[in-house]
Amino acid sequence: MLKKFLPNEFYHSVLDISPDHLKKMGIKGIITDLDNTLVEWDRPEATPVLTEWFKKMDDAGIKIAVVSNNNETRVGKFCDPLGIPFIPRARKPLSIAYKRAFKLLNLKADEVVMIGDQLLTDILGGNRQGIHTILVVPVASTDGLYTRFNRMIERKILASFRRKGLLYWEDKK
């Protein structure tokens, strides 16, 4: 059961994920979470460094879609200036938003990665769809109320993975 929460890879930041690495895996698209994955949950816009990362992915022919459980106003304010398609109120880990994202990107599950900071939403949802999943360390140490509850459960799962030698993301540099 816990294997559904285990990511395929883990990084400290999305900025550590290179287009070359993704292309070698046959990846043509990224489905990514927004809050605490790309930017802090209360930051309305992309940082210049993140904007450059998006450009590198685009230059490599890798499409990106943001799939967020947050509302349309929040997600649109971030994505619209960048021209990135998005799905708000996704209700991750439910599968409907992932299926919509496949259509939005015009790609199949084996051509896509899911990048996120939460095991209970992003990684579980991606794994349930057969997507290659990448866990990143949350950008901020604070979360919204709903996410704080998830983090309590997540800490127990991460501790279990650590004890079993399955996940050591603190060591990944």
> Residue 173's pLDDT is what?
40
Of 64, 65, 117, residue with least CA distance to 87? 65
Residue 141 has pLDDT above 70, yes or no: no
Give the residues across from 149 on adjacent strands.
none
Q: Where are the domains of the chain?
A: 2-171
Q: Which helix (H) or strand (E) holds 22?
A: helix 19-24
Measured distance CA(121)–CA(18) in Å, rounded: 23
pLDDT of residue 171: 46
pLDDT at 13 over 70: yes
Alpha carbon of residue 137 to chain centroid: 10
Strands 132-136 and 9-11: parallel
CA gap 76, 8 in Å, rounded: 29
What own/partner pairs with CB < 8 Å and gap ≥ 24 does 160-163 have?
160/2, 161/2, 161/6
User: Which pLDDT belongs to residue 142?
Assistant: 60
pLDDT at 155 over 60: yes
Which residue in this structure is represented by tokens 């230059």? 59
CATH class label, 2-171: alpha beta
pLDDT surpassing 60 at residue 72: yes
DSSP string, 92-147: TTSSHHHHHHHHHHT--GGGEEEEES-IIIIIHHHHHTT-EEEEE--SSS---HHH
Residues 41 and 86: their CA atoms lie apart, in Å, by 16
pTM given for the model: 0.87
Type of residue at 117: D
